[in-house]
Amino acid sequence: MRRRSAAKFASVAVLLAASLLAVGPALWCLSTALKPAGQLLAYPPNWLPHPPTLESIRQVLEQSALPIYFRNSLIVTGLSLLISLAIGTHAAYAIARHRFPGRSALLVALLATSMIPGIAILVPLYHLSVMSGLYNSFTGQVIVYSAWNVPILIWLLKGFFESVPRDIEEAAWIDGCSRLRAFYTITLRMARPGILSGAIMVIVFVWNDFLITFTLTISDSRRLLSVGLYTYISNYGIQWGQLMAATLIALAPVVVAFFLLQRHLVEGLMAGAVKG
């Protein structure tokens, strides 16, 4: 009995420590964003700003290009998500339901492409974007992000489509549904946890990426939020209050998306564990 209590206490302690490690930086970010300018570099630092102020947040929203970066991130992330899911779901379903020559080799090739480090192909990507006229454009970024995420989505969704009983689709065919209609009305619904898990993965990757958007763009009107955060770091110092305020604004959409979709994400992870 004592061993069980000790094990339970140790588990709770580890969980609390891990939670503090994960949430601590975000709380420190919030504290810094709310501090008056005179308290930003005070030593020893204090957690609770007195009095708290929204001046840093106001400056970020009204006196910087951050709203433009935020809008750009929404556009590029949304388009990349739609294109990646449109291609990934159809391709994963085709691979899950059909056997054709070279199927295994194709899956290995897709997996291999997703394992290439992004920094290794930045120079070719830059050259291709310039030669094709897509440099410093939303289109070039969306194409790269979509191509980057599709292989991983195919591997993720293939297992979910394989778990959908084929008998259900065949029953729909007998009732008059075409294969495509049965896919849209039945299979996609049953694989929804996996699709939403893949959607979160794409959103987090595109929203947080720095290297690709920094390499393929040059103007503020096309760069994403991750590059916008970097503008608060210069040779003359770091604008800590505004940087932390901008970081909070950048975190908000991803956190909201996670909380809205967390139930489906957990279902998707559990389903993947069961299939494994």
| CATH classification at residue 131 | 1.10.3720.10
**58 inside domain:** no
36 with 79, same domain?
no
pLDDT > 80? residue 276: no
Range of the domain at 2: 1-53
- Read off the pTM: 0.85
Two structure tokens written together for 11: 């588990």
Closest by Cα among 207, 205, 198 to 154: 198
Q: Which helix (H) or strand (E) holds 73?
A: helix 66-97
Question: What confidence tens digit (pLDDT) does each residue in 18-39 have?
Answer: 888 888 888 888 888 888 877 8
145 with 9, same domain?
no
**Above pLDDT 70, what percent of the chain?**
93
Q: Which residues contact 241 (CB under 8 A, 6 or more apart)?
A: 32, 33, 35, 37, 40, 55, 56, 59
250 with 146, same domain?
yes
Identify the residue whose tokens are 């279902």. Answer: 267
131 with 217, same domain?
yes
161 with 44, same domain?
no
Domain end (from 31, 53, 75): 53
The confidence band for 90, taking pLDDT boundaries of 50, 70 and 90, is very high
164 with 253, same domain?
yes
111 with 242, same domain?
yes
Report how many domains make up the chain: 2
**83 inside domain:** yes
Question: What confidence tens digit (pLDDT) does each residue in 239-265 have?
Answer: 888 889 999 999 888 888 878 777 766
The pLDDT of residue 273 is 44
Please state, rounded to an integer, the average pLDDT across all residues of the chain: 85
Of 118-127, 170-179, 217-226, the one with minimum mean pLDDT is 170-179
What's the whole-number mean pLDDT along residues 114-127?
86
Domain end (from 16, 33, 53): 53
Question: What confidence tens digit (pLDDT) does each residue in 45-76 have?
Answer: 777 777 888 888 898 988 888 999 999 999 99
Burial class (CB in 10 A: 0-12, 13-18, 19+), 82: middle
